[in-house]
Structure 1
Amino acid sequence: MAIQLSKGQRIDLTKTNPGLTRALIGLGWDTNKYTGGADFDLDASAFLVDANDKCVNDHDFVFYNNLEHPSGAVVHTGDNRTGEGEGDDEQIIVDFTKIPDHVEKIGITVTIHDAESRSQNFGQVSNAFVRLVDDSTNEELLRFDLGEDFSIETAVVVCELYRHGGDWKFNAIGSGFSGGLASLCRNYGLQV
């Protein structure tokens, strides 16, 4: 049974799951408080950062226009533009055996595409979650439900996977940002 995490909680991934080499990170959400006429298009992204919490180059940013890191360590399975249906809305696969040595942390984020022009924010999003599944067994290892703590934010750092010694851990973040994807990119050291 999956471990249910709370905001700020950290948990071992590879130490307590020694066979874990590939993880599927599923992200999902619903919209229920919006009647503005435009669809919500939420986008998952991964920022592979060094010890200074910065991307070394643009390839360390995996998102809908760059679906795979050159190392093959992080693969985005594709953009879901409506979020319709049950289960995961977008997925990112992480192969721990391929992560480059300079990468100390992987920030997993969700942003709202064209949020400002569509007058959309995370206050209008509900049932947002992230789950981590062992890709080899299809077993859900952990889940973090983000709750309804957001209002005007247009981007959220959902969680981080980070190196600790020779192992990888999971940190349930759930921290909102204003300024959407551009703001997140600047936060992680990328030019916009």
Structure 2
Amino acid sequence: MPINLSKGQKVDLTKGNPGLKKLMVGLGWDVNAFDTGADFDLDASAFMLGENGKCPTEKEFVFYGNLEHKSGSVKHMGDNLTGEGDGDDEQIQIDLSKVPSNVVRIAFTVTIYDAEGRRQNFGQVSNSFIRIVDEVTNTELIHYDLGEDFSIETAVVVGELYRHNGGWKFNAIGSGFQGGLAALCGHYGIEVA
């Protein structure tokens, strides 16, 4: 049985799973009934952060435009343009053994593509979740439902993996931002054109 987390909860991933290396981070969502006349294109991203809470370079930002970090430690499995269907809408693979030593946290975010132009926000999204699966055993370790706490936000920091005493923990964050992907990039030290 996976551990179901609530906002702000932290759990040790590697303590009970000492051999844990390969993870699949699945993110999913549904769109509420009312229609803005455009598809909802939600995008999952991973920001690989140093001690200062910033990405060392723009190459540590893994998203639909940069699907894999050069270390092979973080790999985005591709963009889902509509979010239709059950289960994970987007997936990111993590190999903990390959994460560069200067990366102490990996933050997972979801943003709404062209939210302003399409007049969309997270108040129109429901059943959002993140789950972490041990890829070797295909066991779901963690499941975090974001709940319906959002209204005008266009970007959400869902959670993060972080190093702790030689192992890895997960923190369920669930905090929203206005300003979409550009706001998140600024927060994590990435220059946006």
TM-score interval, smaller chain: over 0.9
Instruction: Write out per-residue CA displacement over residues 146-166 of structure 1, whole angstroms, 9 at most, x where no aligned residue.
Output: 000000000000001000120
**Equivalents in 2 of 1:140, 1:174: separation in Å?**
19
Secondary structure of the structure 2 residue equivalent to 1:172? strand
TM-score, normalized by length of structure 2?
0.98
**Equivalents in 2 of 1:165, 1:33: separation in Å?**
45
Aligned residues: percent identity? 67
Instruction: Write out per-residue CA displacement over residues 51-97 of structure 1, whole angstroms, 9 at most, x where no aligned residue.
Output: 00000101100000000000000000000000000000000011000
**Equivalents in 1 of 2:45, 2:65: separation in Å?**
10
**Equivalents in 2 of 1:157, 1:142: separation in Å?**
16
Asked if the contact 1:33/1:125 (under 8 Å) is kept, the reply is no
**Equivalents in 2 of 1:185, 1:160: separation in Å?**
15
Secondary structure of the structure 2 residue equivalent to 1:17? coil
**Equivalents in 1 of 2:19, 2:98: separation in Å?**
15
Amino acid at match of 1:171: N
Deviates more, 1:52-61 or 1:27-36: 27-36
Deviates more, 1:11-20 or 1:149-158: 11-20
What are structure 2's unaligned runs of at least 5 residues? none
Query: What residue in structure 2 maps to residue 116 of structure 1?
Result: 116
Query: What residue in structure 1 maps to residue 88 of structure 2?
Result: 88
Query: What residue in structure 1 maps to residue 30 of structure 2?
Result: 30
Amino acid at match of 1:50: G
**Equivalents in 2 of 1:35, 1:111: separation in Å?**
18
Query: What residue in structure 1 maps to residue 155 of structure 2?
Result: 155
- State the shift of 1:19 in Å: 2.0
Instruction: Write out per-residue CA displacement over residues 21-46 of structure 1, whole angstroms, 9 at most, x where no aligned residue.
Output: 01100000000143111000000000
Number of equivalences: 192
Query: What residue in structure 2 maps to residue 106 of structure 1?
Result: 106
Asked if the contact 1:73/1:97 (under 8 Å) is kept, the reply is yes
Query: What residue in structure 2 maps to residue 188 of structure 1?
Result: 188
Cα root mean square deviation, aligned? 0.6
Amino acid at match of 1:178: Q
Query: What residue in structure 2 maps to residue 132 of structure 1?
Result: 132
**Equivalents in 1 of 2:85, 2:18: separation in Å?**
33
Query: What residue in structure 2 maps to residue 73 of structure 1?
Result: 73
TM-score, normalized by length of structure 1?
0.99
**Equivalents in 2 of 1:31, 1:44: separation in Å?**
15
Amino acid at match of 2:118: R
**Equivalents in 2 of 1:137, 1:116: separation in Å?**
41
- State the shift of 1:138 in Å: 0.5
